[in-house]
């Protein structure tokens, strides 16, 4: 079953601004790939590329990088196609990545398709982050942790502010659904979380900088 999400412009803009970019993880993947393939390699595909903010990180290491997504392109380069039907010749791709997207795919069909397009020695890397992200601020980080836990019921380290964290929670698909179905409750919920964080930090500005800690995971599999 194909799922089309993240298509409205406002969501796409928030996504680009607020989501954490996995540059450190991409560097690790490229370091592993480099043991098998001379870089720059020929072709990388980033499947379920969305706004392409992860796709561009691959650019320095390949002659060509193509982002694909089932949704209409929100930037100039990606190709619109389902992950389960990649319009590339067999045995031509050096690296397939999917960043926080493979959970939406029909995975058995996707994996078969990846096996077809990868050349011998080519690799598949799936990246995603854990939902248990945390905020750190002075000596009240333990209090913020509990409030974050409440917020995400609906790594890398980044400097963010309180509003940035709330905005990030807004990009989660579960929260989008909450906004669509119960807009008033969703707004009250965000305001409550924002106020709890500010109270715990004993500050008044939601632009106060905090450190956001996100755990990223990746799986890499290479074709013999
Ligand atoms: C959470 S977003 C991740 C976007 C981007 N990779 C990133 O890291 O910011 C998931 C993306 O997967 C795409 N997607 C979902 N199902 C898909 C499918 N079957 N084939 C291709 N793309 C798909 C969505 O359109 C969306 O852009």
**Which residues form ligand 1's pocket by a CB distance below 6 Å?**
2-6, 19, 47-51, 53-54, 69-71, 82-83, 99-101, 104-105
Q: What is the pLDDT of residues 27-36, one digit of tens each?
A: 999 999 999 9
Please report how the helices 173-181 and 183-201 are oriented relative to each other, as an axis angle in degrees rounded to 10. 120
Could you tell me the two tokens for 195? 């106020």
Percent of the chain with pLDDT over 90: 56
What's the CA-to-centroid distance between 178 and ligand 1, angstroms?
Answer: 20
Closest ligand 1 atom to the C-alpha of 173? 1
What's the CA-to-centroid distance between 93 and ligand 1, angstroms?
Answer: 19
Model pLDDT, residue 6: 47
In a domain, residue 221? The reply is: no
Taking alpha carbons only, the member of 68, 112, 108, 69 closest to residue 90 is: 112
In a domain, residue 210? The reply is: yes
Closest ligand 1 atom to the C-alpha of 82? 20
Model pLDDT, residue 177: 86
Model pLDDT, residue 13: 58
Asked whether residue 68 falls in the same domain as residue 112, the answer is yes
Model pLDDT, residue 154: 59
Exposure string for 80-95, b = 16+ CB within 10 A, e = fewer: eebbbebebeeeebbb
Model pLDDT, residue 169: 83
Using DSSP, state whether 159 is helix, strand or coil.
Answer: strand
Asked whether residue 99 falls in the same domain as residue 160, the answer is no
In a domain, residue 222? The reply is: no
Asked whether residue 149 falls in the same domain as residue 189, the answer is yes
What's the CA-to-centroid distance between 50 and ligand 1, angstroms?
Answer: 5
pLDDT band at 10 (very low <50, low <70, confident <90, very high): low
Per residue, the 3-state secondary structure of the chain, as one string, reads CCCCCCCCHHHHHHHHHHCCCCHHHHHHHHHHHHCCCCCCEEEEEEECCCCCCCHHHHHHHEEEEEEEECCCCCCCCCEECCCCCCCCCCCCEEEEEEECCHHHCCHHHHHHHHHHHEEEEEEEEEEEECCCCEEECCCCHHHHHHHHHHHCCCCEEEEEEHHHHHHHHHHCHHHHHHHHHCHHHHHHHHHHHHHHHHHHHCCCCCCCEEEEEECEEEEEEECC
Closest ligand 1 atom to the C-alpha of 105? 19
For the ranges 31-45, 115-129, 205-219, the lowest mean pLDDT is seen at 205-219
Overall domain count for the chain = 2
In a domain, residue 203? The reply is: yes
Residue 20 · residue 129 · CB < 8 Å: yes
Q: Which of 129, 163, 183 is the last residue of a domain?
A: 129
In a domain, residue 145? The reply is: yes
Domain that holds residue 181: 134-214
Asked whether residue 43 falls in the same domain as residue 108, the answer is yes
pLDDT band at 15 (very low <50, low <70, confident <90, very high): low
Q: Does pLDDT of 182 surpass 80?
A: yes
Mean pLDDT, range 49-59, rounded to an integer: 92
In a domain, residue 4? The reply is: no
Q: Which of 98, 129, 160 is the last residue of a domain?
A: 129
Asked whether residue 15 falls in the same domain as residue 42, the answer is yes
Asked whether residue 105 falls in the same domain as residue 17, the answer is yes
Asked whether residue 103 falls in the same domain as residue 189, the answer is no
In a domain, residue 44? The reply is: yes
């Amino acid at each position: 079953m194909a799922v089309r999400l993240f298509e409205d412009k406002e969501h796409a803009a928030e996504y680009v601004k607020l989501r954490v970019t996995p540059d450190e993880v991409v560097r690790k993947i490229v370091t592993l790939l480099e043991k098998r393939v001379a870089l720059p390699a020929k072709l990388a595909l980033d499947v379920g590329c969305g706004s392409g903010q992860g796709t561009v990180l691959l650019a320095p290491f390949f002659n060509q990088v193509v982002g694909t997504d089932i949704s209409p392109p929100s930037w100039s380069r990606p190709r619109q196609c389902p992950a389960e039907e990649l319009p590339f010749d067999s045995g031509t791709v050096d690296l397939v990545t999917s960043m926080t997207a493979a959970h939406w795919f029909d995975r058995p069909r996707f994996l078969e398709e990846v096996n077809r397009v990868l050349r011998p020695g080519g690799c598949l890397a799936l990246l995603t982050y854990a939902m248990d992200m945390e905020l750190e601020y002075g000596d009240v980080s333990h209090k913020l942790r509990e409030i974050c836990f409440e917020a995400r019921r609906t790594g890398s380290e980044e400097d963010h502010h309180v509003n940035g964290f709330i905005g990030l929670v807004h990009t989660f698909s579960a929260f989008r659904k909450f906004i669509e179905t119960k807009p008033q409750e969703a707004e009250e919920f965000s305001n409550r979380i924002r106020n709890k964080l500010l109270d715990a930090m004993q500050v008044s500005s939601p632009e106060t900088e905090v450190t956001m800690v996100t755990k990223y995971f990746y799986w890499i599999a290479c074709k013999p």
